[in-house]
Chains A and B, each alone.
Chain A
């Protein structure tokens, strides 16, 4: 009696199943292949420099993840080690900048949402001979603190762009949703929009890290004020929450927002989102690192003493289709 060749059979079965189970398109493997392709090309011959990037971001923030991706892409291209750190509290962000100075980094990328508080520690960076570039908000402080240049968006100008667009779209009564109590940039956006908008304009504070609560707050406001016809949110996650609140209200309220996200782009395409004001976060991180590299390599400075603006860009339904793929991969 011949024994059934159990072991080879099982091996063959497993192999067949494994091969049949592979997808030839997309997935993690395609992502890894892209990364390898990206890593292989275009290396520079400068030594391995270290750049610290210290932001005021909270943990796990979608917007700052895009900024960081841009910085990492530029760092990989420029043979730079990127040391990223973040803390939403002023004194902790200042301590992180001090820690970067202690580490004797070759360049420093800092956000200035806390304005004056960062002046003294950036003066120390300058004294230690570390070139500083500031990104995102706070352009009015940048030159005064001795930064080479500032890359970002003037939040008041962005707000004004939103206000003018709201006017052009014939909106009558707008609710501006602030999701971080005490964030200067968010106040500037709402104030800027108010200044260029002719109709009714109100502000609502919600808790941006507690989405059910934020949704309930917007819903309650929509119920309380039947004249409201537009909700203006200041970030992509809050925009998605705002869309849900509008859905519950069962009346034609338009949602407009700052910043992009997959749901915002889907909303633009579907017509539930009127427009999005984008500031290209990827570009802020990428340019910041790249300009530090250019400064060290060639003493190049961009902007001629003026901030380099990455926004505002007002995006509508017409732009949505082209942008969708970049938003999906997390770089727009």
Chain B
């Protein structure tokens, strides 16, 4: 990669307004305010929400969404979707478990084979997209359905049941568990391994987006693919690399599920792809591409984690769970849009 190029956000702020104004112009500011609002609401209504152990639970819930929201938001900034992201996580876990068990190999073998297969699926997504020029919505909808069927079909074929066999007594399991599913308790706060993975992926994703020329390509491809191609941006390669990023993160989360729960249910993951997209959108990503941030996706995941667990801590009637969740998300998105409009109008003065 060439010398670090200035990020487009800075390009927009060419007049260099005051620091506070510049902070308000960031895509994730709406999500930040919404996250604080959601936090305050549940702190007020739920006694057990503010306990340190509850923080650990909320952080864990957020991390399992946030890990996937990082690549999904990058992909969305480039103007594309990946609807197969949810079941790809399950695929990664299933492959890892079944390869290790059937070959009686150390669990690392399964982990590596799983990475290769998942990356191959993602590369297929990217390749289909650039070769056929079909919308990514259709291409990944196809892989989503195929993976859903293959998850069940292959699992039943190999194990005879719909779940994988336990592998916790196999060699390498303990080390894999340490890497993907361990937990550290500091003063009552239990931090799971997924939280560290999430932080690392966030930093890496943000750095790539804001400090490298590849990041500029992402914005360019999402803003106007034809114009980007005209100035020499490798559009197809950029998209494929972003799909590979989704695959990598699905692999990380899939290994977490396997090594923390020991067995994998073949029918899971359906519907999660939308949650990742929601997290990215709340975090300030435009659904049409060309605008957004990785840090925002983390706030989106945090809002989701706080809301889904806060409703439980607040002891609200679970029949209404999805309603509360939807209302919270809509409010967060509205607040987000409102703040952004205010800021844009403000800069015109």
Contacts and interface: CB of A to CB of B under 8 A. Distances in A.
Interface of A: 59, 81, 83-86, 89-92, 94-96, 98-104, 114-117, 119-120, 180-184, 187
24 contacts: A81-B315, A83-B312, A84-B318, A85-B312, A85-B318, A90-B257, A90-B265, A91-B257, A95-B57, A95-B309, A99-B57, A99-B309, A99-B312, A102-B51, A102-B54, A102-B57, A103-B48, A116-B166, A116-B261, A117-B262, A117-B263, A181-B266, A182-B268, A184-B265
Given A98-B57, A99-B54, 11 more contacts: A89-B269, A95-B57, A95-B60, A95-B61, A99-B313, A102-B48, A102-B53, A103-B313, A116-B166, A116-B263, A184-B162
Contact of A89 (B262, B268, B322): B268
Given A99-B54, A101-B53, A183 B162 contact: yes
Nearest to A57: B318
Contacts of A119: 262
Contacts of A89: 268-269, 272
A90 B268 contact: yes
Contact of A182 (B51, B265, B312, B319): B265
A180 B265 CA distance: 12
A59 B322 contact: yes
A187 B265 CA distance: 13
Contact of A83 (B57, B61, B309, B315): B315
Contacts of B293: none
Interface in B170-228: none
Interface in B243-266: 257, 260-263, 265-266
A20 to B, nearest CB: 36
B8 interface: no
Contacts of A117: 261-263, 265
Nearest to A128: B53
A181 B152 CA distance: 7
A85 B312 CA distance: 7
Contacts of A114: 261, 265
A240 to B, nearest CB: 22
A314 B162 CA distance: 27
A98 B60 CA distance: 10
B306 to A, nearest CB: 12
Interface residues of B, number: 33
A-B residue pairs, 3 tightest by C-beta: A182-B267, A117-B261, A182-B162
Contacts of A94: 261
A184 B159 CA distance: 13
A184 B161 contact: yes
A89 B265 CA distance: 9
B163 interface: yes
B84 interface: no
A171 to B, nearest CB: 25
A284 to B, nearest CB: 18
A101 B60 CA distance: 15
B64 interface: yes
Nearest to B165: A116
B56 to A, nearest CB: 8
A181 B322 CA distance: 23
A182 B164 CA distance: 11
Contacts of B319: 59
A308 to B, nearest CB: 25
Contacts of B267: 180-183
Contacts of A100: 312
A94 to B, nearest CB: 7
Contacts of B260: 120
Interface in B142-156: 152
A94 B322 CA distance: 18
Nearest to B49: A102
B338 to A, nearest CB: 31
B61 A102 contact: no
Contacts of B265: 90, 114, 117, 182, 184
B261 A91 contact: yes
Given A86-B318, A180-B267, A115 B163 contact: yes
Contacts of A101: 53
B262 A116 contact: yes
Contacts of A83: 312, 315
B262 A91 contact: no
Contacts of B54: 99, 102
B303 to A, nearest CB: 16
